[in-house]
Amino acid sequence: MRAWLFFWVTALVHSATHSLVELRASDPVAAPCHSAITLHCNISEENDLKVGELTWIHKEMALCIVTKAGPVSLSPRVRCDYKPQAQLTLTISHLWPIDQGEYICRLWSNLGMKTKSTTVKVNECLGKLDTSSSTSEVGCHFQGVYPQGKVHWFHQGKNVTYDSVAANTSKANHKGMYNVTGALLTRGGSNKYNCSLWIPSTGVYLTSALVQAPKLEGRSGGKSSAVSVYTVGLGWLVVHTRTFLV
């Protein structure tokens, strides 16, 4: 007798959980850094549905929750809108890398429990660039970078990354973005150096900038120092020619 009752209850719960109500979540999203995204969770129309609790969950944290008291946003970064018995939308107005991953919509109702999930991906992020230059070194400091990057250096079309002295990457900040720093020894030439931000995981140069090295004091840069080497050579030749003549 008890076994029969148990069977009945199980069957009821089973049918409630698996067929009576459907959820539809937005398709997976891949959006630019700093953009706005909206995720929908739509509930199929059911005549006698009573929503107990409806939630958007990310990284095991409820971001939007609807109870009898109405919708509540549990993060200052998201907006939650609820159409009773029909839809819960979650809006992130300023997307950051930490927002990536799976989002689960979960419904508890008189017709059982149901979940549906979708994913969010953030494309490359790039913030501010600062450059620096001294007579011996040029540097680039990229802020707000995602994914993790490296600085490569070019000079007159040649890859001179092997001359770089500081390749530095910070830990990710609270938004999930990195600072990437690089510096290059210039060997005193007054020239433009190209610093390019390489993103290993995507295999592209995200951006680049030209950094002008300052002229050396007392001299007038690379070209004239090359000329002076030539003059010294010629002087050596003149001196030795004389020696030979004597």
Ligand X SMILES: *[C@@H]1O[C@H](CO)[C@@H](O)[C@H](O)[C@H]1NC(C)=O
Per CB under 6 A, residues contacting ligand X are 24-26, 40, 42, 87, 143, 152, 154, 159, 161-162, 166, 168, 170, 173, 179, 181, 194, 196, 205, 208-210
Query: What is the closest distance, in whole angstroms, from the C-beta atom of residue 119 to ligand X in the complex?
Result: 14
How many CB atoms within 10 Å of residue 242?
Answer: 9
Cβ proximity to ligand X: between 93 and 159 the closer is 159
Nearer to ligand X, 82 or 154 (CB): 154
Q: Is 66 exposed, middle or buried (0-12, 13-18, 19+ CB in 10 A)?
A: buried
15 within 8 A of 95, measured Cβ to Cβ: no
Contact 213, 190 (CB under 8 A): yes
What sign has the CA pseudo-torsion 156, 157, 161, 163?
Answer: negative
Query: What is the closest distance, in whole angstroms, from the C-beta atom of residue 105 to ligand X in the complex?
Result: 10
Contact present, 103 and 48 (Cβ < 8 Å): no
Minimum gap (Å) between residue 111 Cβ and ligand X? 19
Which of residues 171 and 242 has its CB atom nearest to ligand X in the complex? Answer: 171
* Alpha carbon distance 246, 225 (integer Å): 32
Distance between CA atoms of 63 and 51, rounded to whole angstroms? 18
In angstroms, what is the minimal distance from the CB of 195 to ligand X?
8
Residue number with CB closer to ligand X (24 or 34): 24
239, 32, 222: which is closest to 135 by C-alpha? 222
**Residue with the shortest CB distance to ligand X:** 170
Nearer to ligand X, 131 or 208 (CB): 208
Q: Could you tell me the smallest distance in angstroms from the CB atom of residue 37 to ligand X?
A: 13
